[in-house]
Amino acid sequence: MASLSTGVTAAGLPTGVPAGLGRLAATAGRRVAALGVLAALWEGLPRLRVVDPTFLTPLSEVLAAWWDLLLSGELLDHTQASLIRSLAGFALAIAAAIPLGLLIGWYEPVADLLNPVLELFRNTAALALLPVFVLVLGLGETSKISIILYACAWPILLNTVAGVKSVDPLLIKSARSMGLHPVRLFQKVILPAAVPTIFTGIRLAGAYSILVLVAAEMVGAKAGLGYLITYAQFNFRVPDMYAGILTISVLGLLFNQLLVRLERRFSTWRTT
Amino acid sequence: MKIQIQGVGKEFRVRGAGRPFTALDDVTLDVRAGEFLTLVGPSGCGKSTLLDLLAGLTEPTSGRILLDGAPVDGPGLDRGIVFQQYALFPWRTALSNVEFGLEAKAVPRKERAERARSYLDLVGLRGFEERYPHELSGGMRQRVAIARSLAFDPDVLLMDEPFAALDAQTRESLQEELLRIWEKTGKTIVFITHGIDEAVYLGRRVAVMTSRPGRIKRIVDVEFDSRDGDLRADARFGEYRHQVWTLLRDEVAAARAEEVAPVG
């Protein structure tokens, strides 16, 4: 293990830099440092034969494979297929779960009626239901988009219900005192008050849409990043497999960043 | 008479208890048009319950409340409420908060902004139109809330311990401003407080309530030869203060005794 540490360089701080700049560099440095260490390990461990390079391809070779996949257009096709599935499931989940959540949050009888069923389903892992989806909806796009929809719907639904239920009663009282009838009360008070909480659900759903996607594509798909990963593994194209995994990670990261930005935009007033 | 409260009682059903909880019992009180009436009582005497009834948010169990001679049936824009905890909509700017009631009243957009601006001006918040509630101090938030209630031009302003959460200095300056606004607008104001000084300083009449179940114990007319200068230093102020304090003392003791050993 002693040979390991030679590949890792400590990120030292330059001395004599103004304090503010120094602190900024330190923060940036710390962020890059962890990734740098990871990259160095990924490159170093197989090269130094600590792990078998057949199973863990050095990072540089993975990147080269990724570049080839990009140039051949293969990567783009798979990414596109995956994104369409993810976004379709995600969008449908938003369209279905928000109205349902508002209904459940607002009407006590609906909540009482649906709660036992919801409790049962939310505690069933989405992927455990994948075979059922395939059985009922076949191996095509419908079952893949459906399972993503299903997985994405939960965080949105539960957060929407929570958002509606946690509106400050005083705000409702205040609006009622100004003679607002229920429909307007909902539109002008309940909905805007619930938006930040709903957005938290949407952000979580965004992450799920990528997580579940890969699993869905491992069963009977002919394109997609999940398919690329399993296919490459079956054919022992290990660098391609890692290239696929890397692409998924970056995609998930970017999607999440986008949603975090949006969430912040919609809930500036929440920063009390 | 602007408001007539006639033999009003309010009971709440309590889960697990055999008999209902009586918050108010046979409250009778008249409020004149354009009057500033303060309502003072020990904590838990049902002051806020009475205000909810006046606002039309709940209905009395017995008796009736008349507004301009007609029974109150539900909330309306002829009455504005100011709450202790401001109740501003945090996703709206100060201006937009003041516009809220005007939207409910279906005032055209342009006129809305104009009126909201002028009322923010009235409470001394010019230049803060685009601030969000979380960017304002407690005193400023309460000013926005007051502007919001004034903007839709209600005849009656109902205030539920509006200054109780503020520091002493902010409270005094807001009390002064409220009097100025009252004189300028001629609203009928019912102001709930548990502060004796505040009740005597603001009210032209002070209604003292008993401990639970709340009843009106006595109404004290507050009159000064002149309201100029430091009113609180006036000898008459001290007399009124003492009078209200004496009326309240027994009630506070009774309220405390009940807290220690609940009856029933």
- What pLDDT is stored for residue B2 in this prediction? 87
Alpha-carbon distance of B43 to B195, in angstroms, equals: 11
Looking at the fold, whether A21 and A148 belong to one and the same domain comes out as no
- What pLDDT is stored for residue A1 in this prediction? 36
Looking at the fold, whether A45 and A76 belong to one and the same domain comes out as no
Report which residue type is found at A14.
Answer: P
Q: Is residue A172 part of a domain?
A: yes
Instruction: Let me know how long chain A is.
Output: 272
Domain ranges in chain B are: 29-55+74-260
Alpha-carbon distance of A56 to B39, in angstroms, equals: 78
pLDDT, chain A, mean:
86
Q: Is residue A63 part of a domain?
A: no
The pTM of this model reads 0.80
Looking at the fold, whether A13 and A93 belong to one and the same domain comes out as no
Size of interface A-B (CB pairs under 8 A): 55
Report the percentage of chain B scoring pLDDT > 70: 98
Check CB contact under 8 Å for A179 and B76. Answer: yes
Q: Quick one: tokens of A191?
A: 């909905």
CB B100 within 8 A of CB B92: yes
User: Tokens 């009622």 identify what position?
Assistant: A176
How far CA A24 is from CA of A13, A94, A142, A187, in Å, comes to 11, 38, 48, 44
Strands (E), A118-213: none
Dihedral angle computed from the Cα positions of residues A191, A197, A198 and A204, in that order, rounded to the nearest 10 degrees: 180
Q: Per residue in B174-223, pLDDT tens?
A: 999 899 999 988 999 999 998 899 999 999 999 998 887 888 888 989 88
Instruction: Compute the average pLDDT of residues B42-58.
Output: 87
Q: Per residue in A87-102, pLDDT tens?
A: 999 999 999 999 999 9
3-state secondary structure A192-241: HHHHHHHHHHHHHHHHHHHHHHHHHHCCCCCCCHHHHHHHHHHCCCHHHH
Alpha-carbon distance of A111 to A105, in angstroms, equals: 7
Looking at the fold, whether A156 and A181 belong to one and the same domain comes out as yes
Nearest-CA distance from A228 to chain B in Å? 45
Q: Is residue A163 part of a domain?
A: yes
Alpha-carbon distance of B2 to A188, in angstroms, equals: 31
Report the percentage of chain B scoring pLDDT > 90: 45
Contact residues for A230 (Cβ-Cβ < 8 A; gap 6+): A217, A218
Check CB contact under 8 Å for B75 and A269. Answer: no
**Which of B116-120, B190-194, B236-240 is least confident?**
B236-240
Q: Per residue in A185-198, pLDDT tens?
A: 999 999 999 999 99
Check CB contact under 8 Å for A178 and B100. Answer: yes
A184 vs B contacts (CB less than 8 Å): 104
How far CA B156 is from CA of A116, A215, B82, in Å, comes to 47, 64, 11
Contact residues for A50 (Cβ-Cβ < 8 A; gap 6+): A4, A44
Q: Is residue A44 part of a domain?
A: yes
User: Tokens 């057949």 identify what position?
Assistant: A54
The domain B29-55+74-260 having CATH identifier 3.30.70.1450: the answer here is no
Looking at the fold, whether A77 and A20 belong to one and the same domain comes out as no
Instruction: Compute the average pLDDT of residues A229-250.
Output: 92
Reduced DSSP (H G I as helix, E B as strand, rest coil) percent helix, strand, coil of chain A, to 5: 80, 0, 20
Tell whether B203 lies on the interface with A, counting CB pairs under 8 A.
no
Q: Quick one: tokens of A95?
A: 């369209």
A176 vs B contacts (CB less than 8 Å): 57, 75
Domain range enclosing A16: 2-56
- Mutual angle of helices A59-72 and A238-266, in 10-degree steps: 80
Domain termination site, one of A35, A56, A77: A56
Instruction: Compute the average pLDDT of residues B158-177.
Output: 90
Bigger pLDDT: A11 vs B53: B53
Count Cβ atoms within 10 A of the Cβ of residue B48 and give its class: 0-12 exposed, 13-18 middle, 19 or more buried.
middle
Alpha-carbon distance of B175 to A235, in angstroms, equals: 81
Looking at the fold, whether A11 and A139 belong to one and the same domain comes out as no
Bigger pLDDT: B235 vs B262: B235
Give CA B35 to chain center in angstroms.
13
CB A181 within 8 A of CB B77: no
What's the pLDDT band for B45 if we cut at 50, 70, 90?
confident
Contact residues for B232 (Cβ-Cβ < 8 A; gap 6+): B197, B201
Most confident range, picked from A121-130, A201-210, B102-111: A201-210
pLDDT at B264 exceeding the cut of 60 = no
List the beta bridge partners of residue B214. Answer: B24
Tell whether B87 lies on the interface with A, counting CB pairs under 8 A.
yes
